């Protein structure tokens, strides 16, 4: 049976969970009040840091689920995403509109990746 490893664990959640060569990241948000573009950049920076901690990188992302507080921000978020995603390594992706934890959050990314 494969071990389940949890990193950066608090009472409510772990930032990283690994199992059987797969990395699951907690939802990542940007700085409250920043623009959608800036929040997206911050989310992606956090994803990169967490993936590195788990022994992976952006080329190993299997899936990304993106929640936007308002789908009117889809193009602004995509401009940042498209500039960031490694060419030839675009993951499976879904994007939808949802009420996030606070109204100041405009975007949240949930990533699943393969370990390197």
- The Cα 102–Cα 80 span in angstroms is 22
Query: Cβ distance 61 to 102 under 8 Å?
Result: no
In terms of Cβ atoms closer than 10 Å to its own Cβ (0-12, 13-18, 19+), residue 99 is exposed
Pairing of strands 61-68, 92-97: parallel
Rounded to 5°, angle at Cα 50 from 44 and 56:
100
- The Cα 75–Cα 37 span in angstroms is 10
pLDDT (tens digit, 9 = 90+) per residue, 68-116? 999 999 999 999 999 999 999 999 999 999 999 999 999 999 999 999 8
Q: What's the predicted TM-score (pTM) here?
A: 0.95
Other CB atoms closer than 10 Å to residue 89's CB: what's the count?
A: 11
pLDDT (tens digit, 9 = 90+) per residue, 26-48? 999 999 999 999 999 999 999 99
Average pLDDT over residues 43-66: 98
How many Cα atoms occupy the beta-carbon half-sphere of 51 within 13 Å? 23
């Amino acid at each position: 049976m494969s071990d389940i490893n949890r990193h950066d664990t608090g009472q409510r959640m772990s930032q990283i969970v690994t199992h059987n060569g797969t990395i699951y990241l907690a939802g990542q948000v940007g700085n409250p009040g920043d623009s959608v573009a800036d929040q997206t950049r911050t989310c992606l920076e956090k994803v990169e840091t967490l993936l590195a901690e788990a022994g992976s990188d952006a080329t190993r992302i299997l899936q990304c689920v993106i929640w936007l507080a308002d789908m009117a921000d889809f193009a602004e978020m995509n401009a940042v995403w498209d500039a960031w995603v490694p060419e030839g390594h675009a993951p499976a992706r879904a994007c939808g509109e949802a009420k996030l934890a606070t109204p100041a959050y405009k975007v949240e990314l949930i990533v699943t990746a393969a370990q390197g």
